[in-house]
Amino acid sequence: MTESNESLIHVADLHKVFITEEVETHALAGVHLSIAQGEYVSIAGPSGCGKSTLMAILGLLDSPTEGGYWLAGEPVADLSASQRARIRNREVGFIFQSFNLIGDLTVFENVELPLTYRGMSSAERKKRALGALERVGMSHRTKHYPAQLSGGQQQRVAVARAVVGSPSIVLADEPTGNLDSANSEAVMSLLGELHREGATICMVTHDPRYARHAQRTVHLFDGRIVEEEEAVRKQQETAELKQSGFDVA
């Protein structure tokens, strides 16, 4: 199967089936999605709709059962584990809901980690890691361990780690899920800033307040995309609802 597309990410008729003890669960059932270079897309939907599964496949952490996946025009659905690891390292930046910092490593070492798998020189790694930490306002905590930081600070470090390798796309899976509203807003504004600087972002969220930060929202339900909406339209609707006295939070 070949696919010629100008999108950074393009998936076509993507299926993912989990089989556990004679039970088949169709996590994804024919998803078609394209994300253009520099676009900020949010994926929304209720729990169990397949958001995280889609994210894992987009991040090459998992393979689809069926369907095609092109990253920057190259088919990546059937790569070997080693090739996928290489692409993950160079093209994808992850931000997880639970931060997923390594407790044994300092803030600096956590941010530096993806670069060590590239065989980059120590001096270059240091320069880029400190730059990324500067960018998220955490350069004063380089020697701290994750357990010594607040949740918001940990997620900022996770953002720095996601962008330190200048990936093609940043995948954020519920980045505010473990944060209070103040820290959530701070992380969202950080992502907005990254986007304005040219980053392509794909974010999973079930919170409409944060989904609206994206240019486009894709709604998933039972493993299928049921609706796509322009953020601008959604923002207008939200504004109208607020004016009518409804709380959308």
Partner 1 sequence: MTTLWQDVRYALRMLAKNPGFAVVVVLILAVAIGANTAVFSVVNAVMVRPLPYKDSHELVWIRQSGIDHTEKFRYRPNFLYLREHNNVFESVAGYRGNRLYVQGIEAPHQVTALDVTANTFSLLGGQPIQGRGFGPEDEKPESPRVVVVSHAFWRDHLGADPNAIGRNLNLTSLKGNGDQGFGLESGAHTIVGVMPPGFSFPFGRVVQFWRAMVFVEGPTEYFDSIVIPLARLKKGITPERASADLAVLASRLRPTEPADAAPNVVEVYRFLDGLVRHHRRLPLLLLGAAGFVLLTACANVANLFLARANVRQREMAMRMALGAGRGRLVRQMLTESLLLSLAAGVLGLVLTFCSVKGLVALCPADIPRLQETNVDLRVLGFTFGVSLLTGLLFGLVPAWRASDIGVNETLKQGTGRTTGTRRWRRLHDGLVVSQLGLSLVLLIGAALLIRTLVALQTVDLGFQPQNLLAVGFDLPWAKYLETEQCDNFFKPLLERIQMLPSVRSVGAYDGIGLFSSPDAGGRDFTIAGSTGPGQLRSARWMAVTPGFFDAMGVRRLAGRAFDDRDSDAIVIDETLACECFPDSDPLGQTFVTDDSSGRKVHTIVGVVDTIRSFAAPGPVMGTVYTRGTEYWQRAAVLLRTDGDPMRLAPAIRKIVAQLEKDQVIKTIEPMEATLSEMLVHRRFVMILLGIFAGVALALATIGIYALLQYSATRRTHDIGIRMALGAREQDILAAVLGQGIRLALIGVVAGLVGAVALTRILASLLYGVTPTDPLTLMVVSFVLIAAALLASYLPARRAASVDPMVALRHE
Q: Which residues bind partner 1 (CB under 8 A)?
A: 56, 59, 61-62, 81-82, 85-86, 88-90, 94, 96, 100-104, 113-114, 117-118, 145-147, 161, 165
Q: Which two tokens stand for residue 154?
A: 């940990």
C-alpha span between 125 and 142 (Å, rounded): 14
Tokens encoding 80 = 């070997």
Beta carbon nearer to partner 1, 114 or 152:
114
Helix axes 107-116, 151-163, angle to 10 degrees: 20
Q: Which residue has the tokens 């209720």?
A: 46
No. of helices (H) and no. of strands (E), the chain = 8, 10
Nearer Cβ to partner 1 (100/238): 100
Handedness of CA 213, 26, 76, 2 (dihedral sign): negative
Q: Which is nearer to partner 1, 120 or 130 (CB)?
A: 120
Distance in Å, CB of 154 to partner 1, minimum? 11
Based on CB atoms, which residue is closest to partner 1, 117 or 246?
117
Q: Which is nearer to partner 1, 199 or 211 (CB)?
A: 199
Q: Where are the beta strands (DSSP E) in the chain?
A: 9-20, 23-35, 40-44, 66-71, 74-75, 92-95, 169-173, 200-204, 216-221, 224-230
Q: Which is nearer to partner 1, 180 or 237 (CB)?
A: 180
d(CA 126, CA 18): 41
